[in-house]
Amino acid sequence: MKEIKKAKAIKTWQILPRLAVKGMANNGTAYYPYLAAGIFSVFTFFVFSSILHNDIVSTLPKSAYAWMFLSIGRVLLGIILLPFLFYTNSFLMKRRKKEIGLYNILGLEKKHIGVMLFVESILTYAAAMGIGVISGLVLAKLLFLLLLRMTGLSVDAEFTFSLSAVGETAAFFFWVYAMNFVSNLVQVGMSRPTELLSGGKKGEKEPRFLWLWALLGAAALGFGYKLAIGSEADSMIFINFFFAIFWVVAGTYLLFTSGSVAFLKLLKMKKKFYYKPSNFITVSGMLYRMKKNAASLVNICIFSTMVMITLVCTLSLYLGLDGMMDFSFPFDINVYLQEIRHQEGDVERKAGELAEKYGVEIENYLTYERITLLYGKDGEDFGLASGEESVGSSRLTGDYQVNIFLEEDYNRMEGRNLALGEREVAIFSSGRDYGYGRAVFFGKKMKVKEEPETLRIAPKSENNAHDGQFYLVVKDEAAREELVKDWAEKNGVEDVKGLMDDRYRMVRLNVAGEERAREAFGQEFRSWCVDELGCVRADDNISTRLEWKSMYGGLLFIGILFSIVFLMCLLLIMYYKQIAEGYEDQGAFEIMQKVGMSDREIRGTIRRQILLVFFVPVLGAAMHTCAGLAMVGKIFEVLGFFDMELLKMCAVGIMLVFAGVYGGSYAATAKTYYGIVSR
């Protein structure tokens, strides 16, 4: 007898792996998307790790920003993929509970089911790692070259295979699949066979205190929108950004789980509306679906928002990057000379020599003299800055920089004949227009004769509120000296002569030619100015632009990959939701047919319900995106991006394209739904 039991036990253990493989094959509609999610997740994580472990990224000039953003991106990617794979696993287990319950009733013990789940987890992990890593090896070099291209780094670099990247990827996903396996064991171990048989039909319960949570959801969403729309481009903008995200996500969750149910119950209370055949079936079906599936609709809404916001930011930065750099660095070279006029000739001669040496051409060569003072501003009144440091500090900080230069320099630069009278000035703002007929400096009134629309030395944007400057043109040296004396007296600076001597003779120029020749010109010219000429400061904006391109190129690369990740997550959630509802609605189809509804009426009713359920999250995502654009625009202003029209156009284009992709994805997954329901 014991030998028979032992033989049966051995046979049972031998059959478990086959049951695991057969269960995976029989549940292909649920298992294959889960496997695809794992493969895609491994592929993405492996690509990030491979590029990070490539020595060339850390050794190439100006690659530090790209490496830093990739490191941050990999951490964020892990944070996103962990709950996503856990979420898709929960869908899978929900679908398989009935099958596992049958195994339990037919004689398999919980330990046998645990072994079967273990084999499934091992097979899934091995398949995801194998296919994901092989796909990564095939495409990682292509993505690596794309990164180099977007960051402006050398495209001659070679991509090398990294065992460390494979090891890190294997370790990360081992723990992910291990946590999913443990979660599955807990669910099966704590459930009775009857609960497992009906577990696939178990949905979210209606929340208690429904109306209270609905009101709190509306309040949270409104507060999040207020933060997003009302934030200013200041030091708190990034903190407000995260708080706005928190309140919008919380509000979305509460409105979908409680607010939607409360609204449908309100419709149900309207007897004349509710007791009409089409309204009765639609509202009842919607009420059931919203109670049961609100949590998954929240995920669809949030992932849709993440896809759209990420794509809008990525596309806007990509299209507006050159404009950002042109605004922040209008000249390739800036040289700050002390007031020693013969140096101008030395600078011009050296620029000509180096231009000939490197085969480049000097363009837009400008010189002028300026003194920069820092003022607080209230309307037309310029006074003490609100945040001065002590007088003895190296730099006073204030509200606005006012760059003062002479009429003769202005006329030479602009090719004009501006004739200022006594107590007259011209004023140009690099941000919002000054807009007043006079300017008052510590109580002394000066008439604003003209406010030029453009200035060759300074780009202008109405949205440049973060770092706006004023350029003040005065009649002559005496007028400028009077302004400097008044400023020194009010700020407690005794050495007025030293302050006057601290003015700069600016030399600014652009260089046209091949990129590497321009870069070599800028580096040698800057070194000569600082080391040999002894100028106060020299800016090589050619190299600085390349650093910016590297920094934003890394961001763009991550933005593209993350957009694909978010879209993949969204499509899989939609697919699983259609499958889950398809199996649940099989019984509903039969009941509707038995009470006399035609197949056409049934399909029309369910189509309306599904369309409403699936497109309400997209409507919510569009609202979130529109509200978020205000904050994105303010953050972009801090980064030096001022083309709000481009941002809006990108947003409209992305939302239209996303609506098309979402609609196509819905139609494709809906076919699976109708195929399941009509069996």
Q: What's the rounded Cα separation, in Å, for the pair 221 and 247?
A: 6
Q: b vs e for 478-495, b when ≥16 Cβ sit within 10 Å of the residue's Cβ?
A: ebbeebbebbbeebebee
Q: Is residue 19 over pLDDT 60? A: yes
Q: What does DSSP say about strands 381-383 and 438-441: parallel, antiparallel, or unpaired?
A: parallel
Q: Provide the pLDDT confidence category of residue 6 given band limits of 50, 70 and 90.
A: very low
What would the mean pLDDT of 609-633 be, rounded to a whole number? 81
What would the mean pLDDT of 319-337 be, rounded to a whole number? 85
401 forms bridges with which residues in the sheet? 374, 469
Q: Is residue 630 over pLDDT 70? A: yes
133 in Cβ contact with 169 (< 8 Å): yes
Please tell me the total count of domains within the chain.
Answer: 2
**Residue at 517 is within a domain:** no
- pLDDT at residue 65, as a whole number: 55
**Residue at 553 is within a domain:** no
CA angle 249, 251, 257 (to 5 degrees): 100
pLDDT digits (tens, 9 = 90+) for 487-526: 888 887 766 665 665 677 888 888 988 888 888 888 888 8
**Residue at 624 is within a domain:** no
Q: What's the rounded Cα separation, in Å, for the pair 165 and 115?
A: 30
596: left (phi over 0), alpha (psi -120 to 50) or beta: left
pLDDT digits (tens, 9 = 90+) for 248-280: 888 888 877 776 666 666 666 666 665 666 556
Q: Is residue 389 over pLDDT 50? A: no
Q: Provide the pLDDT confidence category of residue 603 given band limits of 50, 70 and 90.
A: low
- pLDDT at residue 208, as a whole number: 66
- pLDDT at residue 393, as a whole number: 33
Residues whose CB is less than 8 angstroms from the CB of residue 642 and which lie 6 or more positions away in sequence, other chains included: 323, 327, 461, 462, 463, 464, 636
Which of 202, 231, 253 is at the close of a domain? Answer: 202
Of 5-9, 600-604, 623-627, the range with the lowest mean pLDDT is 5-9
Q: What's the rounded Cα separation, in Å, for the pair 648 and 639?
A: 17
**Residue at 26 is within a domain:** yes
Q: What does DSSP say about strands 361-378 and 400-406: parallel, antiparallel, or unpaired?
A: antiparallel
**Residue at 287 is within a domain:** no
- pLDDT at residue 395, as a whole number: 36
- Domain of residue 447 covers 361-512
Q: Which helix (H) or strand (E) holds 2?
A: helix 2-26
Which of 490, 512, 534 is at the close of a domain? Answer: 512
Q: Provide the pLDDT confidence category of residue 286 given band limits of 50, 70 and 90.
A: low
Q: Is residue 567 over pLDDT 60? A: yes
- What is the percent of the chain with per-residue pLDDT over 70, rounded to a whole number? 67
Alpha helices (H) along 329-397: 342-358
Q: What is the pTM of this model?
A: 0.72
- pLDDT at residue 397, as a whole number: 39
Q: Provide the pLDDT confidence category of residue 227 given band limits of 50, 70 and 90.
A: confident
Which of 477, 512, 547 is at the close of a domain? Answer: 512
Q: Is residue 410 over pLDDT 50? A: yes
Residues whose CB is less than 8 angstroms from the CB of residue 406 and which lie 6 or more positions away in sequence, other chains included: 368, 369, 473, 474, 475, 476, 477, 480
Q: Write the single-letter amino acid at 341.
A: R
Q: Is residue 316 over pLDDT 60? A: yes
Q: What's the rounded Cα separation, in Å, for the pair 467 and 620?
A: 35
pLDDT digits (tens, 9 = 90+) for 169-195: 899 989 988 888 888 888 776 666 665
Beta strands (DSSP E) in 270-419 are 333-337, 361-378, 381-383, 400-406
Three-state SS for 371?
A: strand
- pLDDT at residue 8, as a whole number: 45
538 forms bridges with which residues in the sheet? 335
Q: Which two tokens stand for residue 249?
A: 């996500």
What would the mean pLDDT of 153-180 be, rounded to a whole number? 77
**Residue at 531 is within a domain:** no
471 or 92, higher pLDDT:
471
**Residue at 587 is within a domain:** no
Residue with token string 């800036």 = 334
Burial of 590 (0-12, 13-18, 19+ CB in 10 A): exposed
Q: Which two tokens stand for residue 547?
A: 């650093």
Q: Is residue 440 over pLDDT 80? A: yes
Residues whose CB is less than 8 angstroms from the CB of residue 584 and which lie 6 or more positions away in sequence, other chains included: 200, 201, 292
18 or 320, higher pLDDT:
320
- pLDDT at residue 368, as a whole number: 85
Q: What's the rounded Cα separation, in Å, for the pair 476 and 404?
A: 11
- pLDDT at residue 649, as a whole number: 92
**Residue at 596 is within a domain:** no
Residues whose CB is less than 8 angstroms from the CB of residue 567 and which lie 6 or more positions away in sequence, other chains included: 307, 661
What would the mean pLDDT of 419-440 be, rounded to a whole number? 87
Q: What's the rounded Cα separation, in Å, for the pair 510 and 480?
A: 29
Q: Which two tokens stand for residue 243?
A: 């708080």
Q: Write the single-letter amino acid at 660.
A: G
